[in-house]
Amino acid sequence: MNVKPLSDRVIIKSLEAEDKTSGGIYIPDNAKEKPQKGKVEAVGPGKPSENSGEIIQMTVKTGDTVLYGKYSGTEVTIDSEEYLIMRESDILAII
């Protein structure tokens, strides 16, 4: 990937939503919920501290699988692939 996120931003590739419920019922495409899980593809250098100006290191790293808010981030297309760009603070957990 030729895109490098700035500051505390992260580029995430969304993982596909489940096709089937735990009870075995198949979900049609138009009824699927937006995925909330993805894989981190690129990470920015970190956010500068407000007091000292030092760079605060990022917690997530490339290759991590993360959970994020349903409507977090901005959808972008890079090399005909769909990605999300969001701040590290929008990430809820690392799986």
**Residue 3 within a domain:** no
In terms of residue numbers, what domain contains 61?
Answer: 9-16+27-94
**Residue 81 within a domain:** yes
pLDDT of residue 29: 63
Q: How confident is the model at residue 93 (pLDDT cuts 50, 70, 90)?
A: very high
Residue holding tokens 């593809």? Answer: 41
Residue type for 51, please? Answer: N
CATH number of residue 82's parent domain:
2.30.33.40
Q: CA dihedral in degrees (40, 74, 83, 19; nearest 10)?
A: 90
Say what the pTM is.
0.80
How far is the C-alpha of 25 from the C-alpha of 51, rounded, in Å?
53
**Residue 40 within a domain:** yes
Which of the pair, 5 or 27, is modelled with greater confidence?
5
Count of domains observed in the chain: 1
Per-residue pLDDT tens over the stretch 23-82: 777 766 666 566 689 999 999 999 888 888 899 899 999 999 999 988 889 999 988 899
How far is the C-alpha of 91 from the C-alpha of 6, rounded, in Å?
16
pLDDT of residue 15: 86
